[in-house]
């Protein structure tokens, strides 16, 4: 067991034994993750915040059902996803059908966009505010099935298995959706990456 | 076997996650050494992931944490709101 998991297990045991206040401490490292999961599903800041509060309260109420087979973060993410899905069903929006029933077809072009000269992309380009805004918009516009996987894996940095567990889909499906989401974003953002001039090395220092 | 660009693109995501097998990884790396287009695609995709994970890209609403813990404190105060026993 990793140290962090052991600390968490200790906290959880104490909370269940009556030290309720420690729940604040248990949840603090994950409050960002819960919010972003729900923002990815509900696509609205106010709804996401409200749902995040509900999800956190639920996780407190059902804490005794956490068994430690999964990581606490994965378990909590599952609760957040369920809360988001419940709200979508209630809202009876068009997104309702899309969340469960979309499957990946072969349609769509999942090839990346070539950059004619990556040397044109300075490190500063990544610091630009417009690029962050463009990225946020591009993520919001991903089809739901791709966005959900992308957010868990690349924003919250769950691994492939944890993403698969939290979403209730197979590892293979996670990989396909993740690949497509990343390629769609790459394609969408290339124009923003190309706009400034001075020659520099790649962000990762790859010799060009 | 010599890899074509298209074949490299199909494995970019897995390559980044380091889940391709050793042989394919080696072939991809050999391809990247001489292919600027694929190197640029790989770097740009990685950069997007770095940017995605950067806390400044996806920010929390101001006061989110305070409101969350206030709501939680209220929940904890109510004596009968113990976590459910199984």
CB-based contact, A121 to chain B, within 8 Å: yes
What is the pLDDT at residue A198? 38
> What global pTM score does this model have?
0.80
Look up residue A120 and give its DSSP letter. G
Which stretches of chain B drop beneath a pLDDT of 50? 86
pLDDT in tens, A86-135: 998 888 655 445 555 556 665 667 788 776 655 555 566 666 778 889 99
Is the pLDDT reported for residue A1 higher than 60? no
Q: Which residues of chain A are within 8 Å of residue B82 when distances are taken between CB atoms?
A: 20
Rounded to 10 degrees, the C-alpha dihedral A16/A18/A20/A26 comes to -40
Query: B73 to chain A: which residues are within 8 Å by CB?
Result: 24
The residue of chain A with its CA nearest to that of B38 is A114
Among all residues of chain A, which has the CA nearest to that of B60? A32
Q: How far apart are CA A62 and CA A179, in angstroms?
A: 34
Is the ipTM above a cut-off of 0.95? Answer: no
């Amino acid at each position: 067991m990793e140290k962090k998991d052991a600390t968490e297990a200790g906290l959880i045991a104490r909370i269940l034994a009556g030290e309720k206040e420690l729940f604040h401490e248990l949840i603090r490292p994950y409050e960002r993750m819960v919010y972003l999961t729900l923002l990815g599903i509900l696509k609205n800041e106010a709804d996401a915040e409200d749902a995040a509060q509900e999800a956190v309260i639920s996780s407190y109420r059902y804490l005794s059902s956490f068994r430690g087979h999964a990581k606490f973060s994965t378990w909590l993410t599952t609760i957040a996803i369920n809360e988001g899905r419940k709200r979508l069903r209630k809202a009876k929006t068009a997104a309702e059908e899309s969340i469960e029933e979309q499957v990946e077809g072969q349609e769509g072009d999942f090839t990346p966009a070539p950059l004619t000269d990556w040397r044109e992309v300075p490190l500063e380009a990544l610091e630009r505010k417009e690029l962050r805004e463009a990225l946020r918009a591009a993520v919001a516009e991903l089809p739901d099935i791709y966005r959900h996987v992308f957010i868990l894996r690349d924003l919250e940095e769950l691994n492939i298995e944890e993403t698969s567990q939290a979403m209730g889909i197979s590892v293979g499906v996670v990989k396909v959706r993740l690949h497509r989401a990343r390629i769609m974003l790459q394609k969408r953002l290339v124009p923003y990456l190309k706009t400034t001039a001075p020659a520099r090395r790649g962000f990762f220092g790859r010799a060009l | 076997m010599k890899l074509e660009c298209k074949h490299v693109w199909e494995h970019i995501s897995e390559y980044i996650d380091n889940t391709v097998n050793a042989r394919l990884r080696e072939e991809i790396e050999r391809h990247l050494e001489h292919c600027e287009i694929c190197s640029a695609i790989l770097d740009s995709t990685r950069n997007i992931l770095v940017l995605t994970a950067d806390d400044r890209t996806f920010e929390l609403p101001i006061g989110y944490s305070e409101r969350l813990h206030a709501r939680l404190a209220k929940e904890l105060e109510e004596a009968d709101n113990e976590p459910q026993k199984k």
